[in-house]
Structure 1
Amino acid sequence: MAERKVFAGHAVRKLRLQLGLGQGAFAEALGISASYQNLIERNQRPVSAALIVRLVERFGFDPRALSGAEPGGGAEAMRKRLADPMFADLEIDRAELVEWLAAAPGGAEAFARVYDRLGGGQGAAASDDPLVLVRKEVERWRNHFADLDAHAEALADELRTRSPDLYGAAGERLRVKHGLSIRVLPVDVMPDVLRRVDYHARQLQLSELLDPASRSFAVAFQLAALEARGEIDALVRGAAFADRTAERLYRRHLISYWAAALMMPYARFLRACEATGYDVELLQRRFGAGFEQVAHRLTTLQRVGARGLPFFMIRIDRAGQASKRYAGASGAALVEADGRCPLWRLHAAFDRPGALVTHLMELENGSRWFTIARTVTPQSRRYGGVPAEFVVGLGVEASLAGVLAAARGLDLTGEATPVGLGCRACLRPDCPQRSAPPAGRALLINERERRASALTFVGD
C-alpha cells in the first residue's frame, strides 16, 4: 500500500458524508488541512498509507473499500464503457473522464449502472447475475492467484519426488492422508455423474467416461478442496459476495485453478512454454492435460518476475454463446464484448474438428491480434446421446506472437482481417456480413442505391 498511489476520493467523501461531517471538521479529525482534504476527495491527491491508518483508527474505516467504492469501478472500467462505438463522436479524453469521476461520482455511478443494465459492457446479463459477479472478481485478479500457485507448486514438487505419474502419486496421497480411495465405476452405475465423493464409502468415484487428463484433474480437484481450503477460504472471504451462488461458483473456480496448477506447476510449465513456443498440443502431452486445461492455464501466467505471454481465452458454442472467457492480463476487448464478429475464424474451427485454426485480425481501434482455435468435446457423451461441441480460442497481441510455434512462417505485420466486436458494437462501413446496425445509429434507407451491406447507417 505504501509503495503505490491510491486515489480513493469517492470512498473518503462517502465516509465523511455518512459521518455527517463537513470537510473542515473531517480534516481536523485526521490532522490535515481542509484544502488537502478537498484535493483528496477530488482525486487530485492520493490517500497515503499514514492517512489510511488514521481513517481506520479514528472512524473504523474498512480499507477494502478503497478498491471497491470507486464510481463505476474506477477510471479504467469507465474508460472501457466509453470505448463503446456509440460514444465515439463525443471524444471524451482521460482528463475529462477523471474530472467527471471526481466532480460527479454519483452521476458516473448512475451512468455505469444504466449502461450495464441495458446491455453494455457485460451484455444483457444483469449486474447481479452470479456468473457476471464471479467473472468480474476473477478479472480483478487477472486470473492469477499467486498463493494458490505457490501452494500447488510445492505439493507438485513433493509428489514428483515420489513418482513421475501425477495421477498415481496424487491418488496415493488422497488415500494415505485423507482416507479416500479412487474407484472408477461403469457408466451404467454413474450414468449422469462424472465425479462423486462418497464419504460413507470413503471413495472418490470417477466415471469410466473420463479420459486420463480428466481423471488426473478430478483427483487434483479433490486434493485442492482438502489441502488448499485455507488459501481458498481467504480469497472467497475477500470477494465478499452477497450472493451465495456467486460465492460457490467462485470457490469452484479457485479449486479448479489449484487443480490445474498442480497438474501444470508454474515454473516448470512456464519453462516448457518458452522452450516449445507455447505449443499447446505439445504441452498437453508433456503435462498430461487436455487442450482446454492448457488454454486456461496460459491465461494465468502473471507471476511477478516470471510472466508469460498475456493470453486471453474464450469458449463458445455453435450459436456463438460464450460459456467461458478470461481476459487475464491481455485487456482484450474481444473477451469483454458480448457479441462476436462472424469474420473471426474462431467460428470456422467447428468445420475442422480437432484441427488448429489460426487467424491474424485487426480491430477498429487498430489493435492486432493473433488467435488459435480448436474444437473440444465434453467427456460425458455416450453412444446415441446428444453430442456437445465447443470451440476454445486463445489470443495474444500480434506484436507478441512471433515466438509462438503456431505463428511460425506467418507475416504478423502483413494483411489482417478487419473484425469488430459484434454488429451492434461495430462501426465498420460496407461490411457484407453485417446483420444489424450499430447501437445508437439510425438506419439509412436509399431505394436508388444498393451498397455491399444492406444495412447502412448514419455516419457510414
Structure 2
Amino acid sequence: MAEEKLFAGHAVRRIRRAYGLTQGAMADTLAISPSYLNLIERNQRPLTATLLLKLAQSYDFDPRTLTGATPGGGVDAIRRRLSDPMFADLAVDRAQVEEWIAASPDAAEAFARAFDRLSGGSHGGASTAAGGVPIEPEAIASARREIERWRNHFADLDSQAEALADELRLANADLYGAITERLRVKHQLSIRILPFDVMPDRLRRLDLHARQLQLSELLDPASRTFAAALQLGMLEAKTEIDALVAGASFTERAAERLYRRHLSSYFAAAVMMPYARFLRACEATGYDIMLLQRRFGAGFEQIAHRLTTLQRVGQRGLPFFMLRIDKAGQSSKRYAGASASPLVATDRRCPLWHVHNVFARPGTLLPHLVELEDGSRWFTLSRAVHPQTAVSGGVEAEFAICLGLDAKLAVPLATARGMDLKNGVATAIGLGCSACTRPECPQRSAPPTGRVLVFNERERGMSPFTFDQLA
C-alpha cells in the first residue's frame, strides 16, 4: 500500500527543538540521514506514514498536530499579506516565503496575526477592518484557529458519539425520545417545552433546581433534538471535551468558552448524524442535502456543518468548507475543514458570487461554479435559512449558508451532475475588490490595494477604476 504523504516540516522542527536535539540526533533515532531530515524540515520531502509512526513512538506528542494549519495560512496567504502597499518596495518572492515558513514557522505565524489585526483584513486571516477596528474579536479568532488546527474533526468525540447513538437506537427508534429517556433515567433531568410568553428571551435553559432542561416552543423538531443531544453531550462527554479545551491552552476565558460550546455542539451533531452511517448516506445519495435532512431529522445548517467534519482516517468524506453570512456580508460562522479554500480565509467577498443572491430566493439551493484569479475552481451550494427565533411582529433573522469544495472533487455530487466542472463556464470572482486585480469588472467597488490608479478623461472602461496592471 502506498504511504500517504504529509508535508509538515515546521511541526517536525518544533518537536526537535522542544527536545533540544540536533538534526543528527533526531535523524539517528528515526534511522534516516541528517540531510534527509533537513529536507523534511524544509518541506522538500514528505513525512511518510512510516516516519510518522517512528516519531510518535520516539517522542511524546499527538500525531494529529502535524496536520494542523500551516503557519500564517501557508505560502499563498503570506504572499497575499505581502501584497499590501506598505511592502511595495520589497521584492519578496515565493521561494523566500517558503524558506521563511520552513525556517521560522512561529515568526511567520506571528507576522500573520499581527498583520491581520492591524490591516484591512482582506489578505489572510481577515480579523480587522480599515482603521484597525476588529472584524473578529481575538477570543473568536483564537477559538476558530484551534478548530481549524483540528480541521474541524475531533476523532475521539466522533467515536464516543457514534457509540452513544447506537446505544440510543437500541432503546428507541425515535432519537429525541431516546435522549429524553436517557436524560431522565441516568441524569435525573426531564425536558419541558415552555410557551414563548413564559420564556420569551431564551431558546434553551437548564434549571438545576427543578432538574429540567427547558426548551422554547419556537424550536422545530430538529432543533429540539439538537438541544437535547447538546445537553447529553455536556454531561457524558465532559471528560473528552475538558481534555480538548485544556490542550488548547487559551489565554482568554472567552475563547475557552467559545471552543467548549463548539465541541459540545459538535458532539450533539455527531449523535444526530453518526459518522459511519452519515458518510454512507452521503455517498449513496450523492451528498443530496435535502435527502440527508429527511433521513437524519436535521436542519439544513446542521447538515452543512456536519459535512465539514468528515475527516476520519481511512474513512474520509469530501473536504467541504462552510460559510454563514448575513445580508450585510458579515460572517458568523466559517469552517475551512480540510478544504484549504481561500474563500474562507477572508471576510471580504465578491458580489458576483451567488451566495449573496439566495436572500432573494428563499428555499432555493443555488449551485455555482466559480474561478479565482489563481485559476482554482470551486463548486459552491448556497441557501438562505431562518433560525427559529421569530414571532409575529418580531425580527426574523436570515442567513445565507454556503457549502463549497474544490471543483475537481465535486463530480460525485448530485447537484453537480451534467456540469462540466473542469472546462465549463465558471464565474470569475475575487477575494474582495481590494484584493482582486481583474481589470474589467463592472461590479468593482474599490481599486486593488498596491496598484496605481490610471486616469484618462477621453475614455472609460467597464470598471469605474482603471489601474496599473503591474504591482
TM (norm. structure 2) is 0.84
Offset, 1:398: 1.5
Residue in structure 2 matched with residue 86 of structure 1 by the alignment: 83
Does residue 420 of the first structure (1) align with residue 439 of the second (2)?
Answer: no
Match of 1:454 among 440, 464, 470: 464
User: 1:153 and 1:106 mapped to 2: Cα distance?
Assistant: 36
Conserved 8 A contact 2:175-2:225: yes
Say yes or no: does 1:122 pair with 2:131. Answer: no
Q: Does 182-191 or 413-422 show the bigger shift?
A: 413-422
Post-superposition CA distance 1:410-435 (Å, at most 9, x none): 33231111011111111111110000
Q: Distance in 2 between matches of 1:139 and 1:10?
A: 19
Cα distance in 2 for partners of 1:441, 1:11 equals 41
Give the Cα–Cα distance (whole angstroms) in 1 for the partners of residues 148 and 234 of structure 2. 22
Structure 1 portions without partners, runs of 5+: 17-22, 57-61
- Name which of 441, 446, 456 aligns with 2:451: 441
AA in 2 matched with 1:97: V
Residue range with higher mean Cα deviation, 249-258 or 304-313: 304-313
Percent identity over the alignment?
Answer: 59
AA aligned to 2:189 is: L
Aligned partners of 1:40 and 1:410: how far apart in 2?
A: 45
SS at match of 1:100: helix
Structure 1 residue 50, shift from structure 2 partner: 8.5
Task: Return the alpha-carbon distance in structure 2 between the equivalents of residues 64 and 299 of structure 1.
Answer: 22
* Cα offset, 1:306, TM superposition: 1.1
Unpaired runs of at least 5, structure 2: 129-133
Asked whether the equivalents of residues 190 and 207 of structure 1 are also in contact (C-alpha less than 8 Å), the reply is yes
Deviations 1:360-397, CA, capped at 9 Å, x for gaps? 11111111111111110011101101121001011122
- Give the counterpart of 1:339 among 344, 348, 367: 348
1:69-94 Cα deviation digits (max 9, x unpaired):
x9x9537534422145827995733x
Contact 1:131–1:246 (CA under 8 A) maintained in structure 2:
yes
Asked if the contact 1:85–1:425 (Cα under 8 Å) also holds between the matched residues in 2, the reply is no
Letter in 2 for 1:139: E
The alpha-carbon deviation at position 98 of structure 1 amounts to 3.7
CA gap of 1:79–1:361, structure 2 versus 1, over 3 A, is closer
* Inter-CA distance 41–376: structure 2 relative to 1 (3 Å threshold): same
RMSD: 3.4
Deviations 1:16-63 (CA, angstroms, capped at 9, x unpaired): 6xxxxxx99x999x999xx969x8699459999989999x8xxxxx85
Secondary structure, in 3 states, of the residue corresponding to 1:237?
helix
In structure 2, the residue corresponding to 1:200 is in which secondary structure?
Answer: coil
Note the alpha carbon deviations across 1:272-326, whole angstroms, 9 max, x for none.
1111111101111110000000000011111111111111110110011111011
In structure 1, how many angstroms separate the alpha carbons of the residues matched to 2:284 and 2:57?
47
Count of aligned pairs:
440
Sort the Cα spacing of 1:42 and 1:313 in 2 relative to 1 into closer, same or farther, 3 A.
closer
Aligned partners of 2:228 and 2:259: how far apart in 1? 19
- Letter of the 1:425 counterpart: A
Contact 1:376–1:389 (CA under 8 A) maintained in structure 2: yes
Instruction: Please give the secondary structure, in 2, of the residue aligned with 1:184.
Output: strand
Query: What is the alpha-carbon distance in structure 2 between the residues aligned to residue 229 and residue 186 of structure 1?
Result: 30
For 1:15 and 1:429, the matched residues in 2 are separated by 51
> 1:121–1:338: 8 Å Cα contact kept in structure 2?
no
| Distance in 2 of aligned mates of 1:349 and 1:453 | 25
Match of 1:96 in 2: 96
C-alpha separation in 1, matches of 2:298 and 2:109: 43
User: TM-score with structure 1 length normalisation?
Assistant: 0.86
2-structure distance, mates of 1:53, 1:410? 47
In 2, are the aligned partners of 1:180 and 1:204 still within 8 Å (CA)?
A: yes
Shift of 1:177: 0.2
Q: Whole-Å Cα distance in 2 between the matches of residues 206 and 448 of structure 1?
A: 66
SS at match of 2:411: helix
Counterpart-to-counterpart distance in 1, 2:199 and 2:457: 62
Aligned-partner residue type, residue 277 of structure 1: G
Q: How does 1:84-233 map to 2 (within 5 A)?
A: 86=83, 92-93=93-94, 95-101=95-101, 108=108, 111-117=111-117, 118=119, 119=121, 120-125=123-128, 129-233=138-242
> Does residue 301 in structure 1 map to residue 316 in structure 2?
no
